[in-house]
Amino acid sequence: MVFSSRKVVWGEINEVKAVGKPVGGSVLIVVLWILALLAYLTGDYLSFNRERSAICSSSWDAERQNQAINSIIELFSMDVSPLTGQEEMREWIDLSPGGVKVWVKVEKEGNRVNLNTAPDPDIREKILELIADKDDEMADRLASAILDWRDPDNLTRSNGAERGYYQDHGFPYEPANGPFESLTELLLVRDMTPELFWGDPFAAIKAQNELGDQEEMKSIAVSDAFTIFEAGVKRISMIIPGKGNSYHLVIAFLKRVGSQWRVFQIYRTMLISATTEEESED
């Protein structure tokens, strides 16, 4: 009887072992799933941190650029340039406020054609001068559209564009039939493109270094050739090089209020240049 009971005991033990084999396999599968989940969460966490780091870096760069822009504006918020002792500084110069490289140019608006007060022939002549070598017909169309935009009536000039054109082409706006309130309003005018409006100021730096003769350098951008402000308004143009051929263009307009110069309009955009920063310094 004793021997028989031992067999039963061993039999029970063998059964337990047999049942234990699939349990061990299940545990292994669960462990593998946990490891896979941890690997995924770790990768997701690292990716999240990289994104946060990139955002923080980008925000920090933007803040440094804003501080540099404010420093430049503050530097030239006086009657004469502290660098040259003159009212204007019409050639691009290289400054580095806070370690941020900025190309700067300071001019008065009196040297530009006023979109709101200049006679029609002056505006047409300037547009033709800027882009006639590219397309005579387009230059004429653009000049006529600008004049139609600012005149007080709805009569369409030859090659012009009035309310009917903008409505027929699905634009959510129509001509102001009055003075331009900002230079960037020109971007709403038919046939005006960002390339024509902004040009490539960074390429002008290279041209300045190559030519060395201000008389030979002409405006190649509508935004640089025209104004809507009084002759005494100061324009501070700033270029901040970015990655590759990209750069930020900032144009601040200041007017004298009492004994101080104050910013009343500022434009910002990002552009891609046909030249590189290294080429502009040669």
- pLDDT at residue number 32: 79
In a domain, 86, yes or no: yes
Q: 31 exposed, middle or buried (CB, 10 Å; 0-12, 13-18, 19+)?
A: exposed
| CATH, residue 77 | 1.10.40.60
Task: Please give the average pLDDT of every successive group of 10 residues along the chain, which has 282 residues.
Answer: 43 45 68 78 67 62 91 92 87 93 96 96 93 81 97 94 96 96 97 95 82 56 96 96 93 93 96 70 54
Is residue 106 assigned to a domain? Answer: yes
Question: Could you give phi then psi for residue 84, rounded to 5 degrees?
Answer: -115, -15
Q: What integer pLDDT is reported at residue 3 of this predicted model?
A: 43
Three-state SS for 78? coil
DSSP secondary structure of 90-120:
EEEEEE-GGG--EEEEEEEGGGSEETTTS-H
On whether residue 36 sits in a domain, the answer given is no
Question: What was the pLDDT predicted at 94?
Answer: 94
What pLDDT shows up at residue 11? 45
- Domain membership of residue 118 as a residue range: 67-281
Closest to 112 in 3D by CA, of 213, 205, 219: 219
At 10 the pLDDT is: 41
Q: What is the pLDDT of residue 50?
A: 64
> Three-state DSSP class for 251?
strand
Q: Give the pLDDT score at 280.
A: 52
Does 190 fall in a domain?
A: yes
pLDDT at 101: 95
Determine, yes or no, domain membership for 49: no
Structural domain count of the chain: 1
Considering the domain boundaries, does residue 56 fall inside one? no
- What the block records as the tokens of 18 is 């047999």
Q: How many CB atoms lie within 10 A of CB 263?
A: 14
pLDDT at 132: 65
Residue 114 domain flag: yes
The single residue listed with the structure tokens 């009196």 is 110
pTM: predicted TM-score of the whole model, two decimal places: 0.76
Domain presence at residue 23: no
- Tell which residue, 215, 216, 221, 185, has the closest CA to residue 201: 221
